[in-house]
Structure 1
Amino acid sequence: MDRALLVIDVQESFRRRPAWEAVSDPGVADKAARLVDAARAAGDLVVWVLHAEPGSGTPFDPPLGHVRLIDGLDPADGEPVLVKTSRNAFTTTSLHRTLTAAGVREVVICGIQTEQCCETTARLAADLGFQVTFVTDATATFPIPHRDAPPDRPLAEVLADPRTLPVGAVIDRTEYALAGRFATLASVDDLAPARRPVG
């Protein structure tokens, strides 16, 4: 087993935020599930990662019950489920040790958010010596408000602001930053056959 699929933060927390209405791909869980099926069929390790912000009172606060995989995504016996409190999946978990112990040399990355937890994990994985495949169309993200915009504005105001970075631009910038430097880009169709929808 020299390859692992990292399924990063495909969790209910995101669906509990108003920004979910503007997510780049509401079907990201279906695409992750296709990659999981393909990884299992190939005998690859599947590692599930969840993001938690204890004490925040947000949907990422574990006692609220949303720090769980989106329905239809189910870890198999022996598949690690790690909970992180940093943006990348390595710093606050045992991921590096888990991958090394399993003999993994390549990681395939999917999940939420494209330019945050997924991209930062890809960059760190490359720095740690792993070969990285980034499945951009199996990641999802949200519009990014301008850095000078007031915080906590309603979603409608964020979307109406011409300074807001739209999801397509976020995804493009991530691909430009990763390709040829930190990762090889791939699509779900490159790696997995079609499957039934999640849910």
Structure 2
Amino acid sequence: MSETCLILIDFQQAYSDSSRGKRNNPCMEKNAYQLLHGWREKAWPVVHVQHSSFDMESPLHSSSRGFDFIESFRPVQKEKHIIKHANSAFIDTDLDLFLKREKYKSLVVMGFTTNHGISTTVRMAADLGYEVTVPYDATACFETYSFDGSLFSAEIVHGLSLANLHHEFASISSTDSLLSSRLKLTKPVIF
């Protein structure tokens, strides 16, 4: 399974800010860290994607503290680091070139946010021919106002985003399932 690349999307300080509204999956970082730790233990490929907004006022602008990685998710030596400026990690980056050069055909994609960076990256990955798995409990999003002013809870946004990806663009799985089936790990990792 070493041909499966783990892709971490936007594990950045800006998403730890409570001003974004209510978020789902309070254990998301713990689950994501278990997967990252498992991939590192096996020395399997890991790609970190970091969003850099062009908007100077954005908490994801490179001059903001929110641009920085969440401490536990900083890239380590030999892990690829990509900076993106769009929702998809494939737009104006070398991600597809890197994956094809290394012959990675299978991806596990996790991170922030389910309805933006995850959804857009996964859709493009599937269209480019990759087999994609999304661990539903290692992704998260925030409550969202609709065009008509109605508020959708983070749980609803998350569930619908994953439902739209399921079968057509990706397989949806749990962290535990990936840990036991791909990594053959049974003991939990301390986060």
Shared fold, TM over 0.5: yes
TM-score when scaled to structure 2?
0.89
- Amino acid of the residue matched to residue 173 of structure 2? A
Query: Which residue of the partner structure matches residue 15 of structure 1?
Result: 16
- Amino acid of the residue matched to residue 120 of structure 1? T
Query: Which residue of the partner structure matches residue 93 of structure 1?
Result: 93
% of aligned pairs identical? 26
Residues 101-133 of structure 1, C-alpha deviation per residue, up to 9 Å, x if partnerless? 111000001000011110111110000000000
Whether contact under 8 Å (2:27, 2:137) holds in the other structure is no
Whether contact under 8 Å (1:38, 1:191) holds in the other structure is no
Deviation at 1:17? Answer: 5.5
Query: Which residue of the partner structure matches residue 156 of structure 1?
Result: none
Whether contact under 8 Å (1:17, 1:59) holds in the other structure is no
- Amino acid of the residue matched to residue 8 of structure 1? I
Q: 2:156 aligns with which of 163, 169, 183?
A: 169
TM-score when scaled to structure 1?
0.86
- Amino acid of the residue matched to residue 165 of structure 1? F
Could you say what secondary structure the match of 1:14 adopts?
A: helix
In structure 2, distance between residues paired with 1:146 and 1:92: 29
Could you say what secondary structure the match of 2:111 adopts?
A: strand
Q: Unpaired runs of 5+ in structure 1? A: 150-162
Query: Which residue of the partner structure matches residue 174 of structure 2?
Result: 187
In structure 1, distance between residues paired with 2:55 and 2:123: 28
Alignment of 1:35-114 (within 5 A): 35-114=35-114
Deviation at 1:177? Answer: 1.0
Could you say what secondary structure the match of 2:167 adopts?
A: coil
- Amino acid of the residue matched to residue 188 of structure 1? T
Deviation at 1:171? Answer: 1.7
- Amino acid of the residue matched to residue 195 of structure 1? V
Could you say what secondary structure the match of 1:66 adopts?
A: helix
Could you say what secondary structure the match of 2:73 adopts?
A: coil
Query: Which residue of the partner structure matches residue 133 of structure 1?
Result: 133
- Amino acid of the residue matched to residue 99 of structure 1? L
Query: Which residue of the partner structure matches residue 2 of structure 1?
Result: 3
